[in-house]
Amino acid sequence: MTVRAARLHKHGEPLKIETVELPEPREGEVLVDLAFAGVNPIDRYTAEGSVAPDGPLPRTLGFEAAGVLDGRSVVVHGEGLGTARDGVWAQAAVVPREAVTDVPDGVDLREAAAIGVVGVTAWNVVHDVGQVGGDDRVLVLGASGGVGCAIVSLAHATGATVWGQTSSAEKTRVIEEQGADGVIVTGPAQLSEALGDFEPTVVLDALGGGFVDPVVEALAVRGRLVVLGTSAGPEVTFNLRQLYRKRISLLGYGGTALTREERREGTQRALEALARRELKLPIQDRLALEQVNEAFERLAARTVRGKLLLDLDGP
């Protein structure tokens, strides 16, 4: 079987759309017809070589997708897809059976395609690591991105009071539509002033950099700071005395450290939340497979509000 796929030949160079021959599934593998795939920052980092630099070349990229297996709607992600082996930016793919999860009734394949990275991250950050509850006051940094939007919706569904941060006034609407009680448009230098009297008990941080110091200062006693990304920079300086005197918990989340069981559990829980409409995954745009490099450019320019998808069903 031949399919069109987005292939990485050399790190740092644009992906090429090529026709490739799929191998026959081996024991423990299945052939999935794919419809939509998510585009994530980690995909761009993989293309650049900062993630999985030793992966085989050339290879098909793509960490997550949704499609059909034996007449059932399924999500496909994990098990080294896109890093240690060919990924899912193709019309079909041979994947490990352990990478496949059934999609509940009522869930659209387009939304399901964004579950593997964004949905699982949001579910684990809110419920497992952050343990957000109805009495919490939550601040989501980077709330207009794909993961940030999903986090806002899940935190809101717990009954917590949720504020979202963005650096662009143009992105406030999408955060409000996810259920945020308040939106602040600010960079790190003005964060304390923008928060005013709002004293978060939980901060879910995808930015890092200069945001960490004012966040530690703003957090309530026994607050939790959950770090899930460093879009604003990995090197930080903050007042350690504030951390220990207020008994703040500093917690980290990295999806690549999940065990198979944790990944599968997170996928199932996120899909169930999506079916209940507690998890919202706003899709900003759907691009043709040939536009994959444009998708990378948009991610790098930080103009994305929500999620970008690739339509894998095209001619």
Q: What is the pLDDT of residues 142-168, one digit of tens each?
A: 999 889 999 999 999 999 999 999 999
The confidence score (pLDDT) of residue 193 equals 97
For 288-303, letters b (16+ CB in 10 Å) and e give ebebbbebbebbeeee
Query: Is residue 314 predicted with pLDDT exceeding 90?
Result: no
Kindly state the average pLDDT of the residues 225-247. Answer: 96
Rounded Cα gap, residues 66 and 311, in angstroms:
10
The domain defined by 2-114+281-311 folds into: Quinone Oxidoreductase; Chain A, domain 1 (3.90.180)
* Residue 306 pLDDT class (50, 70, 90 cuts): confident
Helix (H, G, I), strand (E, B) or coil at 64: strand
> Hey, which CATH number is domain 118-255, 3.40.190.10, 3.30.2270.10, 3.90.180.10, 3.40.605.10?
3.90.180.10
pLDDT per residue as tens digits for the range 255-269: 989 999 999 999 999
39-98 pLDDT, tens digit each? 998 899 999 999 999 999 999 999 999 999 999 999 999 999 999 999 999 999 999 999
Q: Are 238 and 228 in contact (CB under 8 A)?
A: no
Between the alpha carbon of residue 169 and those of residues 134, 175, 298, the distances in Å are 28, 11, 18
Distances (CA, A) of 28 to 64, 68, 94: 19, 17, 10
Which residue, among 21, 199, 178, 17, has the nearest Cα to 93 in the 3D structure? Answer: 21
Same fold, 2-114+281-311 and 118-255: yes
Residues near 13 by Cβ (< 8 Å), separated by ≥ 6? none
Q: What is the mean pLDDT of the chain?
A: 95
Query: DSSP assignment of 274-309, as one string?
Result: HHTTSS---EEEEEEGGGHHHHHHHHHTT---SEEE
Measured distance CA(215)–CA(202) in Å, rounded: 10
Instruction: Reply yes or no: is the peptide bond before residue 58 cis, omega within 30 of 0.
Output: yes
Is there a contact between 306 and 182 (Cβ–Cβ < 8 Å)?
no
Task: Say if residue 135's pLDDT is above 60.
Answer: yes
User: How many CA atoms lie within 13 Å of 95's alpha carbon, on the beta-carbon side?
Assistant: 35
- The residue-averaged pLDDT of 281-298 equals 94
- The per-residue pLDDT for 67 is 97
What pTM value is reported for the model?
Answer: 0.91
- Of all residues in the chain, what percent carry a pLDDT higher than 70? 99
Q: What angle do CA 306, 234, 250 make, to 5 degrees?
A: 85
Confidence of residue 223 (pLDDT cuts 50, 70, 90): very high
| All structural domains of the chain with their residue ranges | 2-114+281-311, 118-255
